[in-house]
Structure 1
């Protein structure tokens, strides 16, 4: 006979909300129940599992213990599975619905999220996509904390500390942008050595900055970084103003910039390996049906021919 579990899904839900809020008071407000009910559920869960889930420090809120961190990941997955079982039991298992939280690298968001939302609305109207935008380190941290189902990101900076499963869905070769009136603008291709004496406008994001600098440094000349910005479009606008050149990976559909100027794109002849756009998730996490559906949509979007 299968032994009965000593805890309930309600306890797991209250625990998960408390972990996200970092406070039982805030969790009770989020759940619209009395704080005593949250406290009792969490205390009973700790008793049933024979572990301490939170460190309780007066005036400093709640901090998850290592056991609590592990349970948060499993509880999130278990509750998602329970929702699927409920839908199957009601006979609406053919309808994919529910929330999916996607982590997205900031510079990939404008290219992948609009078609993702559009296609998901058409194909799976019951799926609610939530997005956490960030840089690689932030997305890896969100994966480890169980705040996102999976991440859409580049292959640079992926942590070796977490047991991650990653899949390449598209290449993202580097290319150069120069002002539309630049002497090299009409060439179509360029070697970075031809621009090494000119100022570089650097997309100043963690890991990305090192990648771009390394491409220029490979010519044998240290890059003259004159301007830095964390904004992709600001990089393009500065270049359009004639303030330097830059190296980027994703290609907007227009050569016009927010500032009103225009840039020209040049293919690189240096043979630099492209970055890889990846779907990354925890290796030991089984994705829900709806998360797998969203991942399939991203694969379809990535498989479309790149803009010429």
Structure 2
């Protein structure tokens, strides 16, 4: 009897010890991520302490960026970052929904694989390629066709007119937003498609049997079933748009000025850091590091809002 029970007890002790080791390994990985995150943020804040002490809170509220006089205001790059990302999401979200809806409900089976693969390949293209394409292909189109049309048709409207008035330069906030939209579409559409595929087939077939159209099935069945995951995918794309560097630097114009027009050159936080950090010295480098900390805070705030929205949706759905 002892011979049969002792090995079992030893095996149980070994399993318990293994579980403890595994748990501590997982805790260690979480702590490592948190420490790395905090270290990155604090290192940028520490590196930007000179600019913070010099400019104070005016670093956030001022739009004057003059390295010659050591005057730094981050309002223009913050504005450019938020507006280009907003333009990208306004364009990318509906298009991504359309792609996901097409691949899951409309496209024939022989076409779903190649189109899905093509979208995933687009997600793997380096951002600098998007920037070069935007500079050599999209900018001439904007200069010769889109900008004149916007000036003639939308620039004269009473409320939105100032947004679409400007010289036919081709480069600017709107062009950068379009390039960002093309970049984030593969990410968002891939996530939404995979999420749509998790909806149980009998659930959709039941709706079709009751006479629902494809639009009604997706709007009333698929989307409510996958709402939380879809919103998470959208904010994942937004996070990429906020931090994009090279693709934006090619087409945004890299002008640290604040303008109401979307057709005028501007800049973003990431593009400004990438363009000027290599040649920056002393206080200017400190200002760029502080600007990086601001981008960190903005991105963290956006993702925190996304997390809060997902928690609210989960509570409403009873999970």
TM-based fold match above 0.5? no
Give the TM-score normalised by structure 2: 0.20
Q: Which has the higher strand share?
A: 1
Give the TM-score normalised by structure 1: 0.21
Q: Which has the larger radius of gyration?
A: 2
Higher relative contact order (CA 8 A, sep 6+): 2
Q: Which has the higher helix share?
A: 2
